[in-house]
Amino acid sequence: MTTLIDNPVLRSTRAEVLRLRRWPAVWVLVAVWIALGLVFGYLFPYLSYRTGDLSFAGDGDTRAQLLVEMLPAALPTVLVQGLPMFGGALALVLGAIVAGNGYGWGTWKTVFTQGPSRPATVGGSLVALTLAVLGSLALTLVLFLGVSLLVAGTESQAVTWPSAGAMLESFGGGFLVIEMWALLGFALGTVARGPALAVGLGLVWALVVENLLRGVGALLGPVEAVTEVLPGTAGGSLVGALVDVSSNPNETPGVLDVLTGSQALLTVLAYCVGLVVLVLVVVRRRDVT
């Protein structure tokens, strides 16, 4: 009888976590992710607030509104508003290199032929990827909290905390969005058996093709129906439901209100489950060479 300690999925997870923890590329992606969030969530708004130049806001925000958006009470919004644009793209790259380099380095070929089983190996890698996404989002939350407290202290503002419910919704929704993109990258890396093609195709799809399809969909009804089930639309709509994009739909690029919150949530969950199933089926049925 296999004990929990000897469970092959758990052993594969520990090995993958060790690989990711010591892999410089992973830390570079996390650093870029956090840096972009800080720049667009706090640095640029603060510079706009201090200089009085409101052209950065571009949506009619006053200096007082800019300040409010940088305080701790606005943390649920700031945490997720950048995920549809750069957060999802970087998560896709992370997933693609995690899966693709397993093939490119010959690691998975060796493991698949010697054990443990393919589902256990890939399952451990998927769990490790999920833990990396979760840890990155948690680290982002901590840093954003520290910066928002710094802004409040510098500007002599009273600290008002967001509600626990709003914070949990924001963190959970943000996690699902970037997990979906990370799994999409993992699936592309598995199908392509390498990181380069997977990263290239994924970024072209996320940053170019989906936006073009949404533009065409505004003119053609059949195309519009297709765009409503695309991963970018689902993720952007889920974030849009969290930040109440209906009050200002043009505020943040990538944040949409095409789907309702429940529709977006179900679509994102369907992508997460479907991509995991796809990866396991492909790995199990395909030759290792």
Q: 45: closest CA among 186, 148, 126?
A: 148
Q: Is residue 189 part of a domain?
A: yes
Residue 138 CA to residue 146 CA, distance in Å, equals 13
Q: Is residue 2 part of a domain?
A: no
Residue 103 CA to residue 288 CA, distance in Å, equals 9
Please state the rounded mean pLDDT for residues 147-172: 92
pLDDT tens for 13-44 read 888 899 899 999 999 999 999 999 999 889 98
Range in 52-56, 214-218, 251-255 the model is least confident about: 52-56
Q: Is 60 exposed, middle or buried (0-12, 13-18, 19+ CB in 10 A)?
A: exposed
More confident residue, 126 or 1: 126
Instruction: Note whether 76 and 167 are within 8 A (CB).
Output: yes
pLDDT at residue 78 in the model: 92
% of residues, the chain, pLDDT over 90: 41
In terms of residue numbers, what domain contains 160?
A: 8-285
pLDDT tens for 55-77 read 665 555 678 888 888 999 999 99
Q: Is residue 3 part of a domain?
A: no
Q: Is residue 104 part of a domain?
A: yes
Cβ atoms < 10 Å from Cβ of 142? 10
Residue 268 CA to residue 262 CA, distance in Å, equals 10
Q: Is residue 137 part of a domain?
A: yes
- In a 13 Å sphere around the CA of 191, the CA atoms on its Cβ side amount to 16
Q: Is residue 1 part of a domain?
A: no
pLDDT at residue 250 in the model: 45
Residue 14 CA to residue 11 CA, distance in Å, equals 5
The four Cα atoms 39, 40, 42, 43 give a dihedral, to 10 degrees, of 50
SS3 286: coil
> Computed from CA positions of residues 41, 44, 48, 54, in that sequence, does the dihedral angle turn out positive or negative?
negative
pLDDT tens for 239-268 read 988 886 554 444 677 788 888 889 999 999
Residue 148 CA to residue 223 CA, distance in Å, equals 41
Q: Is residue 74 part of a domain?
A: yes
More confident residue, 46 or 120: 46
Instruction: Note whether 173 and 239 are within 8 A (CB).
Output: yes
What is the total count of domains within the chain? 1
Q: Is residue 59 part of a domain?
A: yes
Plot region of 259 (φ>0 → left; ψ -120 to 50 → alpha; else → beta):
beta
